[in-house]
Structure 1
Amino acid sequence: MKRQSPIALTRISDSGQVLADPARDIRGRKVRDRDGNDLGKVDDLLVDSQQHKVRMLRVEHGGILGLGATHSFILVDAVTNISDDTVWVSESRDRVSDAPRYDPDLVDESEYYESLYGYYGYPPYWGAGYVYPSYPLHRF
């Protein structure tokens, strides 16, 4: 039996919420790694239910018209720049592709989020002393 997750993230597309400034919505933008390699596009944003802040990007890659596509999750802490059509992240393509995969039938959500923060080496947002990244995330 799964335990109730103290860490609740919701896809913004499932929440009924909208960003205060629609011009700051980065969904649909290309994602590039630190070397300029294409990682896919921002498919959705994961928002925490308590502070209503974007915590992760769901990046879609592969497939045709969404069919057969796979998803990776990238922490907002790894975002280094946002332009009108591209989101840049500090991780390499290999690092993102090797990140833990989420399967809700096999892994508890909170355990998955903890493993993702550990994998990327960032302190978790629910931990003591965490500071939300300021630039470029003030655009969210």
Structure 2
Amino acid sequence: MIDLQDGSIAYTVLSFGGFLGMGNKLFALPWKALSLKVHEHTFVLDVNKEVLEQAEGFDKDKWPLADREWLSKTYAYYGYEPYWQPGVEGQAGVRTESTAAGTEIPDFLSSGTIKGDKVINKAEEHLGKIEELMIDLENGRVAYAVLSFGGFLGMGDKFFAIPWQALQLKVHKHAFVLDVPKETLKKAEGFDKDNWPITNREWLSTMYGYYGYEPYWQWERERIESRPGNI
């Protein structure tokens, strides 16, 4: 589940079969509880068996109405500090459209829900769609969104990496607005659908800079360094 505010992974949704025998429910767990075993194509879950057995799951067809209060309790149960503490609030991330009073705007959306959503510009012209979200395993957030541009841009033969912050959710249109000038998009360096770039910080910094955005790990470092008590 992706935090729409800053692109963090709010939580991962796991099913537990195997020796736990809890295959009839799903469970929300902090991203930091997982560590990747690259060569085994596996994640290791660092949570005691007893904690898992007593965890409160949810029905596969009835997901919880997740908000930060609910998520704080979930993180606390597993012994983790919420990723937005201390003081992540206010950082630049995906924005949401203004809505009438009483209209609910989701805090989180599943990556599966976001994939395939259409992308439009401010004039509501169709640009393309979100093909994939690339996750930063170290930071636990969306490193970039992968877009295809069909529509009037006519660049459907390539994919393009776009900063998460460049997207704005339009709740009622089930779409994301891409706030990037048309000419910038036309001159952007895409990549072949069958030959994805080797992503590293240097490549990401160049891509973010092209679209006029500061890489997320830089403003995150600035936030940490500005905490009270730091020199």
Q: Is TM (by shorter chain) over 0.5? A: yes
User: Could you say which residue in structure 2 is the equivalent of 1:76?
Assistant: 164
TM-score by length of 1: 0.61
- The question of 1:86 aligning with 2:179 is answered no
Distance of 1:101 and 1:16 partners within structure 2 = 30
Q: Is the 1:42–1:59 contact (alpha carbons within 8 Å) kept by the matching residues of 2?
A: yes
User: CA-to-partner distance for each residue in 1:110-137, whole Å, 9 max, x for gaps?
Assistant: 3321111111111111213269xxxxxx
User: Could you say which residue in structure 1 is the equivalent of 2:137?
Assistant: 49
User: Could you say which residue in structure 2 is the equivalent of 1:136?
Assistant: none
Shift of 1:86: 0.7
User: Could you say which residue in structure 2 is the equivalent of 1:121?
Assistant: 212
Shift of 1:16: 8.3
Distance of 1:39 and 1:16 partners within structure 2 = 36
User: CA-to-partner distance for each residue in 1:78-131, whole Å, 9 max, x for gaps?
Assistant: 11223252111211233223223347x8x7633321111111111111213269
Q: Cα RMSD (Å) of the superposition?
A: 3.6
Distance of 2:125 and 2:109 partners within structure 1 = 29
Shift of 1:37: 2.4
Question: 5+ unaligned residues in a row in structure 1: which ranges?
Answer: 1-14, 63-67, 132-140
Distance of 1:47 and 1:23 partners within structure 2 = 10
Q: Percent identity?
A: 24
Instruction: Give the counterpart letter for 1:120 in structure 2.
Output: Y
Instruction: Give the counterpart letter for 1:129 in structure 2.
Output: E
SS where residue 36 of structure 1 aligns? coil
Distance of 2:216 and 2:126 partners within structure 1 = 27
Q: Is the 2:129–2:148 contact (alpha carbons within 8 Å) kept by the matching residues of 1?
A: yes
Count, aligned residues:
111
Runs of 4+ in 1 over 6 A off after TM superposition: none
Distance of 1:40 and 1:97 partners within structure 2 = 13
User: Could you say which residue in structure 2 is the equivalent of 1:95?
Assistant: 184
Whose RCO is larger (CA < 8 A, sep 6+)? Answer: 1
Query: Structure 1 residues 82, 50: closer, same or farther in 2, change over 3 A?
Result: farther
User: CA-to-partner distance for each residue in 1:30-71, whole Å, 9 max, x for gaps?
Assistant: 101223222211110111111221131111234xxxxx7311
Distance of 1:130 and 1:69 partners within structure 2 = 39
Distance of 1:23 and 1:70 partners within structure 2 = 21
SS where residue 100 of structure 1 aligns? coil
Query: Structure 1 residues 23, 99: closer, same or farther in 2, change over 3 A?
Result: closer
